[in-house]
Each structure stands twice: as C-alpha cells, then as structure tokens.
Amino acid sequence: MRLNIVKRLLSLVLVPVITISTVAVNFTSYAIAGVEASNAEPAKNEYQIVSPVPSGSSIEPITQPARLDTLKGKKIALVGGSFSASVTHAVIRDMLETEFGCITYYMTDEIGKSGTYNPNSVSDKSKEFQKKLKDYGIDAVISGNCGCGICTVKETGNGLAAEYAGVPAVVVGAEAFIPQIESTGYNRGVPVVRTAHYPGAFASDTTEEQQRKAHEILYPQIVAALTTEITQEEIDRIAGAVAGVNHDDIVFTGSYERVQQFYEVNEMSDGLTVVPPTREKIEYYLKYTTYAATDIVNLRNGEVQDVPPANRKIYAYHVAANAIMAGCPPEYMPLCIAITRCFANGNFYKSLASTHGWTPYVLVSGPIARQLGFSYEDGMINEEANKLLGRFVSLAMLNLAGYKIKENRMGTFGYMLPFAFAEDEQTCLDIGWNPYHVEKGYDLNTSTVTCGSTLTWGNPIDVGTKEPDKVLQLLSWDVTEKQQNGLGNTNPREARMIWLTKDAAATLAKADGCSTKTGLKDTLIDTARRPLWMRTYAHYWANTGSKIHLNTTFDEHYNSIKKGASTENVERDYVLSTPVPEWLKGVVPYDTIDTTQTIEANNTGFVITGGDLSSQIQIMPGGDCCTFNVSLPRNWDTLVAQEGYSPIADYKLSQ
C-alpha cells in the first residue's frame, strides 16, 4: 500500500524518522516543539510499543554487474513469455538489431529461462539458465512480461538469475506491477532491478497497440536501463520501503489512538484496531511457547527457510508481537508459531501474491483445537477463537512475510480476511473416516495446524437427498465447476479443500467406494470428469496472457490437449472417452464424450465441519496446503489452567 499525502504529512508528527541503508537501520525520535497532541491522555495511558516487523532480509545483497557502455554488437537474450511477450519482445528484438546490430536470442530453447529465482536454494532450472548465459556469452537479458502477481515473480526471476550471473538485466512490466518487481529483487538480494514500464494492461490492448507501445515506450526505457549505471539514489529509493530495528527496541510511545496511527502510517496494520504490543506483554506470551525471544521460527535443520517475499529471519518475539496486535490470548502462541513455520513452505506461500486473490486459512486439528475451543459448528469462522487466529494470519502476512497490497500482493479485486476453523474429528471416527491431519500421517492425538488458501467463499451444495450415489454425483459435478481459476482455464487438477457438514459426510460415506476418505478421493478421480470441450474453451478464450486464439484454431487446440500436449502450469491433461456424466445426460446428445480428469488424490482434502444444522458441501479450490505439528511447553497444563482450561489430556480421542 502506497502512503498518500495526508499519511505522509501525519507521519512527520507521529512517527519516528526511519533511516535506512544496506548496512545499518535505525529509528530516531523527534519532538515537535510547541505542539501538543489534540487527543493527549494522562501518562498512565501511554504505551511503549515495539516493532512487529523483523529487521531486513535473510539474503545478503549482491554487488550488481556494471551496465553496458553501449549496446552496439552486443548479445542480448529476450526471455520469458508471459502476457504477450512474443509480441513486444519481437518489436524490441527488431529495433535492437536495426539500431545497434545486436545479436539476439529471442525466446529460444537454447537459452531457456530461470523462472522464480531463490538465491538461498537455486533450482536446477535456474542453474542451467545461468550456465547458458555464460556459454553463449550473453551481454544483457530482457525479461517479460509482468502482468500478474505470480508471473511477475517468475519473470523477475529471469532478471535476478542474470544479475547473480554477472549479466545486467531489465524486466518489462505493466505499471501496476513495477513495485512488485522492485521489492521482489530487493528481498532476494538484488538492490535494484531495472524495469521498463508498460502503460496500462497488456491483455487490454490489441496486438497493434502492444507493438506501438513496445516501439515508442518500452524500447527507449530498455536501452537506458541497460546503458546507464545504477545510482545510490535508486538503491536508497527501493531500500527506503523496508525498515527494521532490534527486536525489543521501543519504536514509539503514545496514547492508544496514537499507537493505532503509528502502525497504520508505517504499514504495520491491516487497517483494523490493534492491541499495543509492549515488552512486558510479549515476555508473558513467550512463556506459552518452547521458544526464547530471539529463537528463529523459520529455522529447519539448522538453516533459515525463506519466507517470501521479504525473506526475513523471524524471531519468536516478532510472532508474539503480531499475536498480541491481533488480539490473540497467550495460549494461542503455539498455534501462531506453527502457522509462521507454514509461511516458509512453498505449498502455502506460492500463490499468495497472485492477481486471483487467494485467501489464506488455517485448519486447527487434534486435542489443541478442542481444548482452546476452535469451532467446527455452524457459523464457525465467526466464532471468537477462529476470528482471532485468522486476524493473526492477516498481520503475519503483512509484518512477518512482507506482503503489501498493490506492491507484492496483487489481487485485482483485493482479498478477504484470512480465517480459521476446526474439524469434527469425533464424527470422522464415527463414520469410519480419518481426520484430515491423520490422513496426512499424523497421530490422532497430535495437535497440528494446516495452512492453505482458497479462491472461493460460500455457494455450497445443498444436499436434498439421502441417496449416497446421488450425493456423490452432486459432489462430482461441483468439483468440475469449482477450479483454481475462473472457468478452469489452468490446471483442472489443482488443489481443493472440500468441507462437508456432518449429515452430508455421513450420507456420502455410504456410497460405493467411499467408506474412507482415501476411497472417496479415488472414486472422484473416475467420476469428477469435465468435458474436454469445456476445458479447451476456457483455456482458449480465458487465458488472456497467451492469446492462443491468435496462433491456432479451436479444433487444433482441442486435439493438442487431447493428445497430451502441455499447457500453462499443466504437464498434460488426462483425457479419456467416457460415458456422459450423469448431470449432462439430456444435454449432450451422445453416449460417450471426451472428458478430462479434474481431481488428484494427493492435493485434495476432506474436512467434516460446519455443524449439523444443514446438509451441505462446500468446495474450496485454491493453493496447496502444508501441515506442521504444534509444539507445547512442558508446563502447558499449568499455564493454561490460569486461563481456565482443563488439561489437554481431557481432549484426546480414541479410535
């Protein structure tokens, strides 16, 4: 979120000045002489608060290669492929060859591309790309086009890989995605990612308009970006968006109202009221964990695990600060720690920057869910415990992970607030199903959190029958309708979390092959199938970045998918000639049609939740999930007894 003028003026009065360089970060307080706050309160109402944001990035910045003194006769690789790059890159290639006699490598398999680049864990694909740059003697890289939250990370990754390999790069992006390009680079060790700004949106322009903008607007920026040295002013401008202090420094002192303004102005709040995190309160919260204040939470096997996009070392102290701000009671700290660990897992974070607006959620499983009162009844996500833990996720995304709306979290229509829920594990056992975390390999009485994300909310199936096979057909139909992207234009087998109320689950468990969750998944692989014609139509017309319809006919694309060709993010579709699905009989005048598989067992979860007031099923398509166990201190029962809880052993189940 970019600060407006009013906030900037307000910050001069309210906020300590933040001085940043790549070497040191300091907060300095200033008093405004003769000015008294209009809502001044007695000293006893003043709060001394700490920063909820970890200092800096875990990735050390590199010294970038010098820019080129001239482009004359240079070898230039134009790489990437998102959002009509084949159109704009072609124009730029021709102009470079004409004006400077450049030798260009235009989106060729010889050079390839890096995709997402992580300097702490460089992929084989990135290494191969960097090797090709050296083998071919490439002098500069042009990558593009950035027009969505996920593709921006990938296309910027090509530029980062080049910079790390000693090759200057420029990344082409729509204007709205320039801040994401810059922050992605900075947080991955490249102080300045040079950019070429495309005005407007690629997908909204005709091919002719894209060519004109490439010629008149992008090309001059690219030439300047590759031939002008990086300045300290550029480094300072980009670094100026990132601030940090020692974990327990007092960063502001003021009234409750001033504390709210401080966090809002400094982009440390999600816009809702926060509880002031004081040193004393944080120290008390840490007693409910197995961590000391400066223990790194995102540590695994002795190594810091990246938490994109900011890639910070996250102390338990920072987790406590955000838990307090969210209004969570101290006994939620083990859950907040486990959630923060999930942030370092790619299965959770990989989709959170997308323009499609994934909403994160947390499933709390095992005895801890029952002990702390997390709801699986009707209206569950609006119950107090569930709301507070969801609020922690909102603040953790902002302060711990570093996601900022319109900078590196790019949802076109914005995002809903994260939420939390629990599973009715006793009902699972009663009908012969394993709870979700048991399906993932955990013991029944091990407490866990599962973090995932979804693209839909509401609009469940109302089950109006007690016939198990009909319920299975309804579920199969809805699976084919609710996919990761609208209309299902990308991978039809992407992850789903499927909620079932108690009544719906009990009926479904009686269907042939569905007596276990594993059996239900296997059955859906055969029954939840979508007509290939619908799949092709969505990919052909709703995949705006590629404009497939300009390069091939619909029938050619249909047959290409049928024969096993890969499409964006999909190695292949599993197409078979099958009987017409039950819900399409009477619509399709054939006995058999080509259909594609829409579900995979390993990324589909079933959770019995939502109570027993209705018989409903809700499908939550979106990102993958990751699960971590909840670590409790040895004196847990003594600690929570002070808060009025019974021992955790009282909440264990038996199979």
Helical (H) or strand (E) element with 250: strand 250-254
Residue 97, both tokens: 């060859």
Alpha carbons within 13 angstroms on the beta-carbon side of residue 309 total 30
Distance CA 204, CA 136 (A): 36
pLDDT at 353: 63
Distance CA 61, CA 193 (A): 12
Q: Are 219 and 239 in contact (CB under 8 A)?
A: no
Kindly give, in sequence order, each residue whose CB lies less than 8 Å from that of residue 259, ignoring residues fewer than 6 positions away: 47, 49, 252, 274, 276
Preceding amide of 220 cis, omega within 30: no
Quote the pTM value. 0.75
Distance CA 366, CA 381 (A): 18
Strand 47-50 and strand 299-300: the pairing is unpaired
Q: CA dist 468 to 312, 464, 525, 582, Å?
A: 50, 11, 17, 14
Helical (H) or strand (E) element with 535: helix 532-541
For residues 498-528, one letter each, b for 16 or more C-beta atoms within 10 angstroms of the residue's C-beta and e for the rest, the string is bbbbbbbbbbbbebeebeebebbbebbbebb
Q: Are 622 and 452 in contact (CB under 8 A)?
A: yes
Among 401, 408, 385, 417, residue whose Cα is nearest residue 318: 401
Q: Are 345 and 453 in contact (CB under 8 A)?
A: no
Number of Cβ within 10 Å of residue 338's Cβ equals 24
Preceding amide of 145 cis, omega within 30: yes
Residue 207, both tokens: 């091919």
For the chain of 655 residues, list the mean pLDDT of each consecutive stretch of 10.
32 32 30 30 70 80 94 94 90 95 86 87 91 95 86 90 96 88 86 94 90 96 95 84 68 87 83 93 96 92 82 92 97 97 81 74 97 95 94 93 74 81 97 96 97 87 94 95 80 90 96 95 95 91 73 91 82 92 92 94 92 92 89 97 94 93
The helix/strand/coil state of 356 is coil
pLDDT at 5: 29
Strand 616-629 and strand 448-454: the pairing is antiparallel
Length of the chain: 655
Distance CA 532, CA 529 (A): 9
Residue 368, both tokens: 């801890």
Q: DSSP character for 227? A: H
Alpha carbons within 13 angstroms on the beta-carbon side of residue 29 total 9
Alpha carbons within 13 angstroms on the beta-carbon side of residue 21 total 3
Question: Which residues, in sequence order, are bridge partners of residue 409?
Answer: 405
Distance CA 614, CA 504 (A): 8
pLDDT at 188: 86
Burial of residue 10 (number of CB atoms within 10 Å: 0-12, 13-18, 19+): middle
Strand 575-579 and strand 592-597: the pairing is antiparallel
Among 311, 312, 358, 320, residue whose Cα is nearest residue 339: 320
Distance CA 617, CA 293 (A): 43
